[in-house]
Homo-oligomer: A and B are copies of this chain.
Amino acid sequence: MKKFITKIDDMLVDSLNGFATAHADLVNLHLDPHFITRKNKSANKVAVISGGGSGHEPLHSGYIGYGMLDAACPGHVFTSPTPDQMLAAAEAVHADKGILFIVKNYAGDVMNFEMAAEMLPFEHATVLTSDDVAVTNSTYTTGRRGVAGTMIVEKCIGSLAETGASLQACKALGDKVNSRTASMGVALTSCTVPAAGRPTFDIDDNELEMGVGIHGEPGRRREAMREADVIVKDLVAAILEDLESVHLKAFDINSGETSEALLMINGFGATPLMELYLLYNLAAKLFNQHGLQISRSLVGNYTTALDMAGASITICLLDDEIKQHWDSPVHTSALRWGR
């Protein structure tokens, strides 16, 4: 393992300090417990807080700022943060309209945020994100994981919260966006958790992991490495199948109906932009053939898995409300437009 680290135990704080210094115009850093808050927050809005294990940057700290998050709680690498962090963050940013937690659906994240919520002296609600179609929902399991689509949920909720909307309205929008968002990823290499010092999983030079999680959790299946067009075909098929099952509608160009959608190609950390755009090209064509009209696009590293090579494809089915909140101005360190 070769990484830029001074002392492994200080890595998280060293990195948080760098983030806070580089973006001192946008954020304040608090340590022990660790959380990051937004500067210049409007009074009288729902306080939107997210958090999760570190190593997925820019998620979540990179999305703090106007029109998105008010605070983020970074856990250790790939380990969900603890309730004291969320409580302190809530204390720092609450503003009479309640607290909205945005939580990726992992047992650890859910339980830690849940315990924080139980102790919270403010009105609160939680939006669970669960866009990863690799892990199928079933009554027996805890359900799908939250992955790259989380950022779209954060953007839309943040936009609505900025208007002074109620906690209930913000939660409803978040749930809606999540229900219309589907992602699936593929890994070409493992990632290496710094403190572990070696790759999370072994993978051969001619293999890929289909449906990998953003912590390097194994996915649907291990397969032989193939051409990009074949890989994308499988990812797109899984996403379409899921969207169709949820929305009871065949996405088929022959149906004559088209749906508007946002397409995001998310790099896991070590995949060059050149390859991500190549994936975009393949995915956009396939979705188009299935009656999805891609009217919003995002290509880059938005929800990473440290130094993993690989990428995920995310579709969010748009409607006028989602479009409005996606397009509205946002000013964070990792996502910015309109101001």
Distance in angstroms from A192 CB to nearest chain B CB is 10
Whether B270 pairs with A309 at a CB distance below 8 angstroms is yes
- Which of A17, A275, A279 neighbours the largest number of chain B CB atoms within 10 Å of its CB? A275
Cβ–Cβ < 8 Å partners of A11 in chain B: 274, 278
For the complex formed, measure the closest distance between the CB of A294 and the CB atoms of chain B, giving whole angstroms. 8
Q: Say which residue of B4, B188, B275, B276 sits within 8 Å of A279 (CB atoms).
A: B4
- Which residues in B have their C-beta under 8 angstroms from that of A311? 4
Evaluate whether A272 and B21 lie within 8 angstroms (CB atoms) in the complex, with A4-B231, A336-B337 already known. no
In contact, B6 and A274 (Cβ under 8 angstroms)? no
Interface residues of A in 1-43 (CB under 8 A from B): 2-7, 11-12, 14-19, 21-23
Majority secondary structure of chain A interface residues (helix, strand, loop or mixed): mixed
Q: Within the oligomer, what is the number of copies of this chain?
A: 2
Q: Among the interface residues A58, A62, A298, A307, which one has the most CB atoms of the partner chain B within 10 A? A: A307
Are B307 and A272 touching (Cβ within 8 A)?
yes
A297 an interface residue at 8 Å Cβ cutoff? yes
Does A95 sit within 8 A of B, measured CB to CB? no
Q: Which of A84-92, A113-121, A140-148, A221-229 is the contact stretch?
A: A221-229
Please state if A275 and B4 are interface contacts (CB–CB under 8 Å): yes
A228 to B18, Cβ gap below 8 A?
Answer: no
Interchain CB contact under 8 A, B272 and A6: no
> Interface with B: A176-184, A247-255, A280-288, which one?
A280-288
* B12, B227, B297: the one within 8 Å of A7 (CB): B227
Report A170 CB to chain B, min CB distance, Å.
26
Q: Quick check: A271 and B18 within 8 Å, CB to CB?
A: no
Distance in angstroms between the alpha carbons of A57 and B274 in the assembled complex: 7
Contact indicator B270/A22 (Cβ below 8 Å):
no
Chain B residues whose C-beta falls within 8 Å of the C-beta of A7 in the assembled complex: 227
- Taking a contact as CB atoms under 8 Å apart, the answer to whether A278 and B309 are in contact is no
A337 to B334, CA, bound (A): 11
CB distance from A293 to the nearest CB of B (A): 12
Show the binding face of A for B, using Cβ within 8 Å: 2-7, 11-12, 14-19, 21-23, 54-55, 57-58, 62, 77, 188-189, 205-206, 208, 225, 227-229, 231, 263, 265, 269-282, 284, 297-299, 301, 304, 306-307, 309, 311, 336-339
Q: A5-B228, A270-B309 given. 18 additional CB < 8 A pairs?
A: A2-B188, A4-B188, A7-B227, A12-B274, A14-B228, A15-B281, A18-B284, A19-B277, A19-B280, A19-B299, A22-B280, A57-B274, A57-B277, A269-B272, A273-B301, A307-B309, A336-B337, A339-B339
> Nearest 9 CB-CB pairs, A to B?
A18-B281, A18-B277, A270-B270, A57-B273, A18-B280, A22-B297, A4-B275, A4-B228, A2-B188
List 23 contacting pairs A-B, 8 Å CB cutoff, sorted by A. A2-B309, A3-B275, A4-B276, A6-B227, A7-B227, A12-B274, A15-B275, A15-B281, A16-B277, A18-B277, A18-B280, A18-B284, A19-B280, A22-B265, A22-B299, A55-B274, A57-B272, A57-B277, A58-B273, A62-B273, A269-B272, A272-B307, A338-B339
